[in-house]
Structure 1
Amino acid sequence: MVDVETIETAELGDRSYVAHDGEHAIVVDPQRDLDRVRRVLDDRDLRCALVLETHIHNDYVSGGLQLARATGATYAVSADDPVGFVRRPLTDGDALRVGDLWVQVVATPGHTDNHLAYIVNESAVFTGGSLLYGSVGRTDLVDPARTEALTRAQFRSVQRLAELCEDDARVYPTHGFGSFCSSGSIADGASVSTVGEERARNDALVETDEDAFVSRLVAGLTAYPRYYAHVGPLNLDGAGPADLSPPAPVAPGDLAARVAAGDWVVDLRARTAYAAGHLAGTIGIELGRNFATYLGWLIPWGTPLTLLGDTPSEVADAQRQLVRIGIDRPSAALGLPSAGLRGYRTAAFADVPPGANVLDVRRDDERAAGSLPDSTHIPLHSLTARLDEVPPGDVWVHCATGYRASIAASLLDRAGRDVVLIDDTY
Structure 2
Amino acid sequence: MFFVDTIEIAGLGNRSYLAGGERTAVVVDPPRDIDQMLEAAARRGVRISHVVETHIHNDYVTGGLDLARLTGAAYLVPAGAAVSFERVPVHDGDRTLIDTDLALRALATPGHTPHHTAYALEQHGTVLAVFTGGSLLIGTVGRPDLVEPRLTEDLARAQHASAHRLAAELPDTATVLPTHGFGSFCSAGQSAGSETTIGKERASNEALTQDVDTFVTRLLAGLDDFPAYYTHMGPVNTAGPAPVDLTAPAVADAEEIAARLAAGEWVVDLRNRIAFAEGHVAGTYNFEADGQLATYLAWLIPWGKPVTLLAASAEQLACAQRELVRVGIDRPAAAATGEPAAWTPEGTDLAAFPRATFADLAECRRVEDPVVLDVRRASERAAGFIQGSVHIPLHALHRRLEDVPPGVVWVHCAGGMRAAIAASLLDAAGRDVVAVDDSFTAAEAAGLPLRAA
TM-score, normalisation: structure 1:
0.97
Is 1:350 the equivalent of 2:359?
yes
Query: Is 1:332 the equivalent of 2:341?
Result: no
- The more displaced of 336-345 and 145-154 is 336-345
Distance, in Å, in 2 between the alignment partners of 1:198 and 1:414 is 47
Could you list the per-position Cα deviations for residues 109-154 of structure 1 after superposition, in whole angstroms to 9, with x for gaps in the alignment?
Answer: 0000100000110111000000001110011101123211110000
Instruction: Write the distance in 1 (CA, Å) between the matches of 2:117 and 2:252.
Output: 45
The equivalent residue for 1:304 is 306
Partners in 2 of 1:200 and 1:125 — Cα distance?
Answer: 17
C-alpha distance in 2 between matches for 1:289 and 1:419 = 21
The letter of the residue matching 1:349 is F
Could you list the per-position Cα deviations for residues 276-316 of structure 1 after superposition, in whole angstroms to 9, with x for gaps in the alignment? 11111111111113111100000001111100011101100
> What is the aligned partner in structure 2 of residue 399 from structure 1?
413
CA distance, structure 1, for counterparts of residue 248 and residue 25 of structure 2: 31
Aligned equivalent of 1:140: 145
Identify the range of structure 1 (336-345 vs 369-378) with the bigger mean alpha-carbon deviation. Answer: 336-345
Where do 5+ consecutive residues of structure 1 fail to align?
A: none
Q: Give the distance between the partners of 1:356 and 1:98, measured in 2 at CA.
A: 63
**In structure 2, distance between residues paired with 1:276 and 1:321:** 26
Quick one: distance in 2 between partners of 1:17 and 1:186?
18
The answer for the alignment partner of 2:431 in structure 1 is: 417
What residue is the counterpart of 1:201 in the other structure?
204
1:368 matched to which residue of 2?
Answer: 382
Question: Does the 8 Å contact 1:360/1:376 carry over to 2?
Answer: yes
| Counterpart residue number, 1:166 | 171
Residue 206 of structure 1: how far off its partner (Å):
1.7
Tell me which stretches of 4 or more aligned residues in structure 1 moved more than 3 Å: none
Query: In 2, distance between residues paired with 1:192 and 1:23?
Result: 26
Segments of 5+ residues of structure 2 without an aligned counterpart are 441-453
**Range with greater deviation from structure 2 (89-98 or 310-319):** 89-98
RMSD across aligned C-alpha pairs, in angstroms?
Answer: 1.1
Counterparts of 2:115 and 2:52, CA distance in 1: 13
- Please say if residues 60 and 328 of structure 2, whose CA atoms lie closer than 8 Å, have aligned partners that are also in contact: yes
- 1:239 pairs, out of 238, 241, 256, with 241
In 2, Cα distance between equivalents of 1:332 and 1:147:
41
Residue 224 of structure 1 corresponds to which residue in structure 2? 226
The 2-side partners of 1:252 and 1:171 are apart by 51
- 2-structure distance, mates of 1:185, 1:14: 13
Displacement after TM superposition at 1:185 (Å): 4.2
Alignment of structure 1 residues 80-119 onto 2, 5 Å: 80-99=80-99, 100-119=101-120
Q: Offset at 1:340? A: 4.0
Q: Counterpart of 2:451? A: none
Deviation at 1:2, TM superposition (A): 3.6
Q: In structure 2, the residue corresponding to 1:168 is in which secondary structure?
A: coil
Whether contact under 8 Å (1:29, 1:174) holds in the other structure is yes
**Residue type at the aligned position of 1:126:** F
Aligned residues of 1:361 and 1:399 also touching (Cα < 8 A)? yes
2:313 and 2:298 map into 1 onto residues whose CA distance is 22
Aligned amino acid, residue 133 of structure 2: G
Q: Distance in 2 between matches of 1:19 and 1:231?
A: 26
Conservation of the 8 A alpha-carbon contact between 2:272 and 2:290: no
Give runs of aligned pairs for residues 265-344 of structure 1, distance below 5 A: 265-330=267-332, 331-334=334-337, 335-336=339-340, 337=344, 338=346, 339-344=348-353
Residues 1:26 and 2:31 are matched in the alignment: no
- 1:193 maps to a residue whose letter is T
